Amino acid sequence: MTDRKLAILAMIAVVMAGWAILQSRLAKQTGARGLFENAPLIQGLNVDAIAEITVLSNKGANTLTLKKQDGRFRLLEKDGYPANISPINSLLNNCLDIRVARPITSNPANHPDLGVTDETAQYAVRFLNADGNVITGVLVSERKSDPDGAYVRLDGADDAYFVEYAPWISTTPISYLNTALVEVNRDKIRLVTVRGPEGDYVLTSPDGETIAMEAMPDGKQFAGTAHQSVFRALTSVQFEDVMAADSTPTGLLFDRSFVCELDDTTVYTLLLGELDGKHYATITADFLDTTPVQVGRTEAEEELRKKEAKLLAMDAAQAFAQRHKDWVYVISSFKAEDLTQSLDNLLEEVTEADNSPEDTLEPDDI
């Protein structure tokens, strides 16, 4: 072997020895996992294996549980109401995006002071498999620097790290639900019926623009624009809370109803009740046109489109009714007011001034 080859081998040995020393020091600093700066805290996650997600917050005082049933996640704290996939994806992405800035400790005794235990963390998120075993999880402290720094730790691991950008985790159950109860196109509404202890009334709009009242009492007219708010009440209804139908408070009575019929004969029916200052509602949908749809081989394209639209609307009404049949919703007081407005609040007396012709310019006034 030549002197040159020996020199090269000697240099390689020095480099390898230096690398071994560096690795040893890194291991002492970061523990067995040895994450480098900007490395993701979670080293891979099989999303398809996740069957349950738990979120602890407020130092373990609050719990949120998302459990997969029948192929979709349901929120157990809301009687198993179906969860919205978008905030769940955000939760996953926010956890997977956690990147460490530097190691802090490998001593579990330091975890409480750092805020990375169930009892001290701002968030503790765990992903479980179908057997109930934890796949992985993260514990995140309260913010420790301005603006977004925090301490983090993997569930079950001793190593704690500092991150410059702490994840934002949604911890309120309602934020994991699609709170849009119903949204109807105003131009499609043709008839609204309101029933309550004070009486019933019907608002119509055959042309989709003007609003009239069936059997308007003699000497009465609409007062202001309240009737317009009633007529378009279903253009957007959000709910603030939800519960299973068999979990409603004792004493709740649904003594009012709101029925909205569209131009394609889709009908939405809400039953409404109030208890202890909260407004509750159930909702369903029907499709009144039960005439069988028959498609001929020689029908015009326009006629085929009409029949297709009818079938789609019929299916949509059935799906809507199925989705909401077992649930009771809490809605806002201002929306409940539109849905339960009494007849007296919509009308006023017709005065002589209302019946008098508008002033006009006479020839002598010109």
pLDDT in tens, 259-318: 999 999 999 999 999 999 999 999 999 999 989 887 766 778 888 888 889 999 999 999
H/E/C letters for each residue in 18-55? Answer: HHHHHHHHHHHHHCCCCCCCCCECCCCCCHHHCCEEEE
Look at residue 354 in the predicted model and tell me its pLDDT.
62
Look at residue 23 in the predicted model and tell me its pLDDT.
42
Label residues 286-300 b or e (16+ Cβ within 10 Å = b). bbeeeeeeeeeeeee
HSE on the CB side for 175, CA within 13 Å?
12
Look at residue 356 in the predicted model and tell me its pLDDT.
55
Distance, CA of 155 to chain centre: 27
pLDDT at 153 over 80: yes
pLDDT at 180 over 80: yes
Label residues 65-80 b or e (16+ Cβ within 10 Å = b). bbbeeeeebbbbebbe
Look at residue 299 in the predicted model and tell me its pLDDT.
76
Contact status, residue 152 vs residue 138, Cβ threshold 8 Å: yes
Q: What is the pTM of this model?
A: 0.83
Tokens of residue 235, six digits: 């253009």
Q: Residue 307, class by beta-carbon neighbours within 10 Å (0-12 exposed, 13-18 middle, 19+ buried)?
A: middle
Q: Residue 153 and residue 137: Cα distance in Å, rounded?
A: 9
Q: What is the mean pLDDT of residues 167-172?
A: 94
Q: Residue 186 and residue 182: Cα distance in Å, rounded?
A: 12
Poorest-pLDDT segment among 1-15, 196-210, 218-232? 1-15
In 3-state terms, what secondary structure has residue 223?
coil
Give the chain's mean pLDDT.
Answer: 88
Contact status, residue 136 vs residue 45, Cβ threshold 8 Å: yes
Query: How do the domains of the chain map onto residue ranges?
Result: 34-176, 180-351
Confidence of residue 34 (pLDDT cuts 50, 70, 90): low
In 3-state terms, what secondary structure has residue 335?
helix
Contact status, residue 197 vs residue 132, Cβ threshold 8 Å: no
Q: Residue 166 and residue 41: Cα distance in Å, rounded?
A: 12
Contact status, residue 339 vs residue 233, Cβ threshold 8 Å: yes
Residue type at position 59: K
Q: Residue 154 and residue 353: Cα distance in Å, rounded?
A: 76
Residue type at position 64: L
